[in-house]
């Protein structure tokens, strides 16, 4: 399994680090792809050095794309045509598309959320509800579309992605290892 995580300036650190860490603990190959070359700064000043740049990512070899939120991180993702095209291609290919916090708005902009069940940070509820069936849940799965609400739901989101990508046993193992589950 391979997951691509595009990283834009202003990403939400908790959402990004939690998802990458939990997926990697489950043995999933995660490729962190900066929208530009060099370190990327999060919304709270944490700087991350991506594995590669988004231009070098081979989406054909990826099983999922995961968009972290953060302000202005999700706005920067939504302004990048490469990210919007990648989301469209992954969705059309029947691969997993996941977004947390404000990032489900990127799915709206890409046109892949129409008519689906989804959640988002409460600040983005109106935008998502205008095209999707908004669910006030921590994590919402609709086929291969996975959405979540924000930093406080990042662990639930990450574990759900592990379950979907690597199976329930892998999710239980990581959940126990991190003391999220007993």
Task: Give tens-digit pLDDT for 37-75.
Answer: 999 999 999 999 999 999 999 999 999 999 999 999 999
Q: Vertex 35, ends 32 and 40: CA angle to 5°?
A: 70
Determine what percent of the chain is predicted with pLDDT higher than 90.
100
* Positions marked catalytic: 101
Q: Are 33 and 57 in contact (CB under 8 A)?
A: yes
For 81, residues 6+ apart whose C-beta sits below 8 A from its C-beta are none
Top CATH class of 2-177 equals: alpha beta
Task: Give tens-digit pLDDT for 7-17.
Answer: 999 999 999 99
pTM attached to this predicted model: 0.97
């Amino acid at each position: 399994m391979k997951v691509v995580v595009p990283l834009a300036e202003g990403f939400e650190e908790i959402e990004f680090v939690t998802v990458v860490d939990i997926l990697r603990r489950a043995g999933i190959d995660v490729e962190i792809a900066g929208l530009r070359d060099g370190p990327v700064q999060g919304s709270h000043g944490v700087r991350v050095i991506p594995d590669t740049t988004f231009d070098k990512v081979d989406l054909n070899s990826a099983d999922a794309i995961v968009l972290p939120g953060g302000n202005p991180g999700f706005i920067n993702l939504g302004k990048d045509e490469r990210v919007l095209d990648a989301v469209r291609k992954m969705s059309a290919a029947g691969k997993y598309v996941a977004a947390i916090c404000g990032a489900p708005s990127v799915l709206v902009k890409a046109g892949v959320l129409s008519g689906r069940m989804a959640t988002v940070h409460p600040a983005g509820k109106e935008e998502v509800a205008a095209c999707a069936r908004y669910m006030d849940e921590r994590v919402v799965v609709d086929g291969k579309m996975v959405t979540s609400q924000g930093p406080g739901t990042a662990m639930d989101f990450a574990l759900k992605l592990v379950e979907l990508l690597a199976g329930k046993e892998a999710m239980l193992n990581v959940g126990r290892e991190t003391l999220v589950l007993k």
